Amino acid sequence: MPNPTAAILIIGDEILSGRTRDANMYYLAGELAQVGIDLKEVRMVSDDDEAIISTVQALSARYAHVFTSGGIGPTHDDITADCVAAAFDRFIDVRADARALLEAHYTRNGSEINAARLRMARIPEGAVLIDNPVSIAPGFSIENVHVLAGVPAVFKAMVASLLPTLSGGKPLQSQTLRINRGEGEIAGPLAKLAARFDDLSIGSYPFIQNGLFGANIVIRGVDSARIETAMAELAEKFPQ
Amino acid sequence: MPNPTAAILIIGDEILSGRTRDANMYYLAGELAQVGIDLKEVRMVSDDDEAIISTVQALSARYAHVFTSGGIGPTHDDITADCVAAAFDRFIDVRADARALLEAHYTRNGSEINAARLRMARIPEGAVLIDNPVSIAPGFSIENVHVLAGVPAVFKAMVASLLPTLSGGKPLQSQTLRINRGEGEIAGPLAKLAARFDDLSIGSYPFIQNGLFGANIVIRGVDSARIETAMAELAEKFPQ
């Protein structure tokens, strides 16, 4: 059975303006590979309700899982929860269970809940909360969309809460061979190898180091014995 | 007149598998902001021809410029040029001008052109070459799609060749105020400020540092005097 598929949606003007370098996509991509969920597509859009709604709908229809990052805080530009509710035509309001989590948290800290903080308790009808041990305000899953925070520490904590509840397939295995020759010399034999091992994904990732060209050849698949066999043939063709 | 819009398309299994952290999107996002081209969307897809063709078509129809990264080398998984040609229904083959560039380069290096390297001279009919001073194999622009290499050093060099030929709008300006309070305390006054300065984009980017919550408030726009005014009001509300 093929592995379940997934997409990531990163939401936020701060990423598109070049101000902030996204870290969450790279982190989650690695985690998904380990649990056997195949990441097929990533999109990044701005804090714009039409863009978020249409992208959530498109990705939700196409992949088994969609993970969103960003836009669930208390400020005016945090519109993700409302957009995801709109994407599935669900009612959204402050929900009692989420509100109780936040009230207990602010009471413990000697602080108070206010209108802005209550925004973080807005949860679409029928959603399941995702635990946030870092800053309490929860994420949520609705249908196949998992709504996570944008702050990297909180994002990671929510991924840790969520991933064990999703059933993945076989973890993706990979082996890499570094070849200190330009891709132009490698490409011919490599294409033949790829054609014979068409159950594996064989990629060539060129680099330039100290003015010299080389490539990392990465062989990926779910069957480690097959990867070993292909890698042995490759290493024989390109002795280092 | 509003600034021209743009999208970036990152192509490659190595990004989606979590093996490699993309650097090109972040770099180009910063460059585009400086020349007044508004980055509206980013997509990342795997080395899959259907995914690349349909994404190029969708982004090309929606934005003034599309920049692609990756998949134009000599190996079997380098399928971007052929996919972009297919997206616009253009003929593609080895083109004489691109071939001449490569032949001169390999002759200078005491090497030879071969079938794999010739793949890098495959250019769709009607495309304009993009200069690559690092490793010579050119990128190209066709319609509003600009096809660039994935290796970061080459990508940057191609961006430097290409960007001055595109006419941008007013550069995006921004100012940031770091506020050492949780977003929940900032959100109310910030929403009011954002409503009054609706020609500016006002974003709140929370962080956690040494266990304390804070937020960077970023005010963006093309009119620096307006940004100054809004920032002065914000600083008055949240004296540090």
pLDDT of residue A173: 86
Provide the 3-class DSSP secondary structure of residue B174: strand
DSSP per-residue string spanning B124-150: ETT-EEE--TTT---EEEETTEEEE-S
Judge if A5-165 and A173-237 fold alike in CATH terms.
no
Options 3.40.190.10, 3.40.50.920, 3.30.70.600, 3.65.10.10; which CATH number does B173-237 get? 3.30.70.600
Each residue of B105-123: pLDDT tens digit? 989 888 888 999 999 999 9
Contact list in A for residue B185 (CB cut-off 8 A) is: 114, 116
Q: Residue B204 gets which letter from DSSP? A: E
Residue B60, token pair as written in the block: 């090309």
Asked whether residue B183 carries a pLDDT value surpassing 80, the answer given is: yes
By the CB < 8 Å criterion, does A107 face chain B?
A: no
Instruction: List chain B domain ranges.
Output: 5-165, 173-237
pLDDT of residue A172: 82
Q: What is the pLDDT along chain A (240 residues), one digit of tens a residue?
A: 789 999 999 999 999 999 899 999 999 999 999 999 999 999 999 999 999 999 999 999 999 999 999 999 999 999 999 999 999 999 999 999 999 999 999 898 888 889 999 999 999 999 999 999 888 999 999 999 999 999 999 999 999 999 989 987 788 888 999 999 888 889 999 999 999 999 998 988 888 877 788 898 999 888 999 999 999 999 999 987
pLDDT of residue B111: 84
Residue B160, token pair as written in the block: 């430097």
Task: Note the pTM of the prediction, 2 decimals.
Answer: 0.89
pLDDT of residue B30: 95
B17 phi and psi angles, rounded to 5 deg: -80, -5
By the CB < 8 Å criterion, does B220 face chain A?
A: yes
CB-based contact A157:A134 (threshold 8 Å)? yes
Asked whether residue B170 carries a pLDDT value surpassing 90, the answer given is: no
**SS3 letters across chain A:** CCCCEEEEEEECHHHHCCCCCCCHHHHHHHHHHHHCCEEEEEEEECCCHHHHHHHHHHHHHHCCEEEEECCCCCCCCCCHHHHHHHHCCCCEEECHHHHHHHHHHHHHCCCCCCHHHHHHHEEECCCEEECCCCCCCCEEEECCEEEECCCHHHHHHHHHHHHHHCCCCCCCEEEEEEECCCHHHHHHHHHHHHHHCCCCEEEEEEEEECCEEEEEEEEEECCHHHHHHHHHHHHHHCCC
What's CA A99's distance to the chain center, in Å? 27
- B163 or B169, which is more confident: B163
Each residue of B112-168: pLDDT tens digit? 889 999 999 999 999 999 999 888 999 999 999 999 999 999 999 999 999 989 987
Architecture of the structural domain at B5-165: 3-Layer(aba) Sandwich (3.40)
Residue of A nearest to B221 (CA): A17
Contact list in B for residue A110 (CB cut-off 8 A) is: none
Q: Quote the CA–CA distance of B197 and B20 in Å, as a whole number.
A: 40
Residues whose CB falls within 8 Å of the CB of residue A55, separated by 6 or more in sequence, listed in order = A9, A43, A45
pLDDT of residue B169: 80
Residue of B nearest to A52 (CA): B41
Each residue of A219-238: pLDDT tens digit? 988 899 999 999 999 999 99
Contact list in A for residue B195 (CB cut-off 8 A) is: 76
Residues whose CB falls within 8 Å of the CB of residue A155, separated by 6 or more in sequence, listed in order = A24, A27, A28, A69, A148, A149
Q: Quote the CA–CA distance of B218 and B234 in Å, as a whole number.
A: 11
Contact list in B for residue A179 (CB cut-off 8 A) is: none
Rounded to the nearest angstrom, the minimum Cα separation between A114 and chain B is 7
Rounded to the nearest angstrom, the minimum Cα separation between B193 and chain A is 10
A–B CB contacts, 8 A cutoff, strictly below? 206
Q: Do B41 and A42 count as a contact with CB atoms less than 8 A apart?
A: no
Touching A: B residues 157-196, CB under 8 Å: 172, 174, 182-188, 190-191, 194-195
By the CB < 8 Å criterion, does A213 face chain B?
A: yes
Express as a percent the part of chain B with pLDDT over 70.
100
Q: Do B187 and A45 count as a contact with CB atoms less than 8 A apart?
A: no
Whether the CA torsion B214, A43, B153, A219 is positive or negative: it is positive
Residue spans of alpha helices (H) in B79-223: 80-87, 96-108, 115-118, 152-162, 183-196
Amino acid at A226: R
Touching B: A residues 55-74, CB under 8 Å: 73-74
Rounded to the nearest angstrom, the minimum Cα separation between A91 and chain B is 23
Q: Do A151 and B21 count as a contact with CB atoms less than 8 A apart?
A: no
Q: Do B190 and A76 count as a contact with CB atoms less than 8 A apart?
A: yes
Q: Do A44 and B25 count as a contact with CB atoms less than 8 A apart?
A: yes
